A and B are shown apart, each in its own frame.
Chain A
Amino acid sequence: GENVEQHPSTLSVQEGDSAVIKCTYSDSASNYFPWYKQELGKRPQLIIDIRSNVGEKKDQRIAVTLNKTAKHFSLHITETQPEDSAVYFCAASTPSSLMEYGNKLVFGAGTILRVKS
């Protein structure tokens, strides 16, 4: 089955700097890669996602890049702010015969991002 590895496990940056979190996946058939942000004691919330037919996607200060050949994808946050401090999870979804009934997300282990002001 799919396996997702995420690095680094913790990341500290100064406010205003950029942060990059990287994930690799094992199943070359995976076609959907969401990123979730989870603040302390809260629910995971989608911040950006990318599908395998796209190499890069950007939404204001957040961008995701996908390299299908190398089977890795990355989250880039520019001009970090203290409110960006949270745990970030990458995930991958592999098509299956049951995909029309929903999708199975396999998550990375998470990255604790601390933005120091």
Chain B
Amino acid sequence: DTAVSQTPKYLVTQMGNDKSIKCEQNLGHDTMYWYKQDSKKFLKIMFSYNNKELIINETVPNRFSPKSPDKAHLNLHINSLELGDSAVYFCASSQSGLAGPYEQYFGPGTRLTVT
């Protein structure tokens, strides 16, 4: 019955590697997001997708590539990992429509550690 789920929960990898984080929501939402929470707990949006289409693309290095195979899934692939990519990555989802904005529901987070 989990609303927004992410895998893996923890990811430890070396600099230069490529890794992916998966996100799924079963809330029937049209919009999904990726956020990065750094070591100082600051939360910043990276991307949003609506019905598989990219909507928000903040100033994120192009080593980060989101992919949405369907509206219930939004994955994040990171190439050539750097030390500064170490953070907790949260997926979120929300309804969409002109009557919004709507509450965003967050996943449990993926703690990425780059060594």
Interface residues of A (CB under 8 A from B): 31-32, 34, 36, 38, 42-46, 49, 87, 89, 93, 98-107, 109-110
- In the complex, chain A residues whose CB is within 8 Å of the CB of B50: 101-102
In chain B, positions 77-115 with a C-beta closer than 8 Å to chain A are 90, 94, 96-98, 100-109
**Could you pull out 21 A-B pairs where Cβ atoms are within 8 angstroms?**
A31-B101, A34-B103, A34-B104, A36-B106, A42-B108, A43-B107, A43-B108, A46-B103, A98-B56, A101-B31, A101-B55, A102-B30, A102-B33, A102-B56, A102-B100, A103-B94, A104-B56, A105-B45, A105-B104, A109-B40, A109-B41
A110 to B30, CA, bound (A): 28
Which single residue of chain B is at the shortest CB-CB distance from A44? B106
5 A-B pairs with least C-beta separation:
A102-B31, A103-B101, A101-B50, A43-B106, A32-B101
> Contact between A104 and B96 (Cβ–Cβ < 8 Å)?
no
A42 nearest in chain B by CB position: B108
Report the bound CA distance from A32 to B103 in whole Å.
Answer: 10
B interface residues with partner A (beta carbon < 8 Å) = 30-31, 33, 40-45, 48, 50, 53, 55-56, 90, 94, 96-98, 100-109
Q: How far is the CA of A90 from the CA of B1 in the complex (A)?
A: 28
CB B6 to nearest CB in A, in angstroms, measures 9
Contact yes or no, B44 A107, CB < 8 A:
yes
Known: A43-B90, A102-B55. A49 touches B96 (CB 8 A): no
Count A-B pairs with CB separation below 8 Å: 71
Alpha-carbon distance A100/B101, docked complex (angstroms): 8
In Å, the complex CA distance between A34 and B100 comes to 13
Chain A: minimal CB distance from B24 (Å): 14
Give Cα A61 to B106, complex, Å.
23
Q: A46–B105 Cα gap in the complex (Å)? A: 8
